[in-house]
Amino acid sequence: MSKKQFNQLSLVQRSQLQTLLKEKDSLAKISVEMNLSRQTLYREILRNSFPISCDKPGLKSSCINYLKCHKEKKSYRLECPSDCINYQPGRQYCLKKYPFVCNNCKKKKCCNFLHYYYDAENASNSYHQRINKANAFPKTDEKIIKQVNNIVSPLIKNGQSIEAILMNHPELKVSSITIRNWIKNRILDCNFSELRMTGRRTQKIYNYSSNPNHIRLSEAKIGHKYNDFRLFKSLHPNCLTIQLDSVIGNIDGVHSVLTIHIVEYKFQFGILLNSKESNEVYQKLNDLLSKLKSLEDSSAIAVYSTFSECWLTDNGIEFDNILSLIDNHKNLNIFFCHPYSSFEKGACERNHVLVRYIHFKGWSFDNLNQQDINVLFSNINSYPRLSLNKKTPYQCVLEDSRLGKEFLNLINIFKVNCDDVNLTPSLLKKIKK
């Protein structure tokens, strides 16, 4: 059901209302004549009527407590002083009845109350004045605009969103909507086209159960399906979920990136692959787990057990041999999503959007090395998130006693200052320089 639209009366309708106030003896008849509700006409008359002062002697006060005070003999004067304790300005008692105004009142010559009148042109001018006042662009101090421009404009050009900038700079006492309006009206130095796209994509649900042509899970994956993952998470709610995926560059390129995403902290890092074969993925993951396992201090042992507790990946061909890792790492639990159901690991997929801000889809990874990949993900992990209580993923992993600094040093992810975070392709150009 669509929302009802409330339109204001036009000048022609107001002129008609002014005429009918003299001809009709009830508001109901005016309502039928103009095809408008009585409530609409009532609000129109009371809102846009205006008083006319006169020098008539014995004019009664406009205080709503006048009659009460007069009956209680608190005041014998016809005019109450405005500095009275009980003084409350408002309409008189007689104006609460039809016709609400004195346009055609026969008793106005002998009435001692303040006279109110309704005029079509005056009502239209009053309406336009209220609209202009409500839509007036607020005047802001030039110092505030200059401060916002010096901080916001360079960071937006570096690919940061307005919300992230306000999280890192609480000294800016303006809202994100105000900043967007300033950018749209070209008050700031940055362009509106440089802002990140906002909105939510519609989730596409694939009915894998009814399609006979979908790729079947092999028998080796029995006990490692997505339903088993949900059961495992219900039994171990405090364990961290590690989502695996791959980011492919150019189709003709050789290199690709294996992404490892910690869902609870929105933390993601990448490993550069020399080929797209499953043996390469197996070797890289085995080396990573072996490094974690080889560390001797107690904190590092916690890192290994925490990191290898629950893995979730898709059914890509690069993960065909991933179950072989269980032979060397007995505590490792690996699960697979349903075919054509990438939304089941949506946290990892959503973070790939930040990767594509820096490295566009179709670009090759052949000209990058592992150090470049570490710099790329260090900038992404230093980007604050509202879902993390305005913290960065790097900060959340650092504060976790199960992971901490040892884990970050092992994968070579470092902290980037909030004002130095760059989520544009210029980051890779700076690395090459």
What pLDDT digit, counting tens, does each position of 63-119 carry?
Answer: 667 667 766 655 444 456 556 767 666 655 566 778 888 888 877 777 767 778 889
- The pLDDT value recorded for residue 181 is 86
Q: What are φ and ψ of residue 257, in 5° steps?
A: -125, 125
- Cβ atoms of 291 and 328 within 8 Å: the answer is no
Dist CA 319 CA 309 (whole Å): 18
Beta strand 311-313 pairing with 242-248 = parallel
Dist CA 105 CA 97 (whole Å): 12
Which tens digits make up the pLDDT trace of 149-192?
999 999 998 889 898 999 999 898 888 888 888 888 888 888 88
Q: What are φ and ψ of residue 52, in 5° steps?
A: -120, 115
Q: Is the pLDDT of residue 15 over 70?
A: yes
Omega before 212 cis (within 30°)? no
- The tokens for 102 are 């004195």
Report the candidate in 238, 380, 256, 230 with the shortest Cα–Cα distance to residue 312.
230
427 Cβ contact partners less than 8 Å away, ≥ 6 residues apart: 358, 375, 376, 379
Task: Classify the C-alpha dihedral 393-278-231-305 as positive or negative.
Answer: negative
Dist CA 366 CA 428 (whole Å): 13
Q: DSSP secondary-structure letter at 319?
A: G
